[in-house]
Amino acid sequence: MSALARGSNGAVQLLPSDRGMHLLHEVAPNSDDETLSRNALAAGVMLAPLSRYAMQSPRRGWLLGYAGFDDAEIRAAARVVGALARRL
């Protein structure tokens, strides 16, 4: 969470969760969450857009999975996503 906040210059602030395998970053309803996801995937990071899971809802954002990754992999992905988020 802190690596992504630093990497995005504060643009992405995640709320902690004491369970689960994903964190959620939500943005304004009907925002474009697909572009950042495509750009992240092109850079080697899978970032699931919330719009794929909320088809009957205007909710937008990203599901960030962290299960099965070590700290170094998470920090590297956070740098990629953070840099992309700064461009939004």
Residue 19: per-residue pLDDT: 81
Residue 20: per-residue pLDDT: 83
What's the pTM?
0.81
CA dist 59 and 51 (Å) reads: 6
Residue 88: per-residue pLDDT: 75
Over the chain (88 residues), the average pLDDT of each successive run of 10 is 89 84 90 94 94 89 91 93 87
Residue 30: per-residue pLDDT: 86
The CATH code of domain 2-86 reads 3.90.1150.10
Residue 42: per-residue pLDDT: 96
Residue 62: per-residue pLDDT: 93
30 CB-contact burial (10 Å; exposed 0-12 / middle 13-18 / buried 19+): exposed
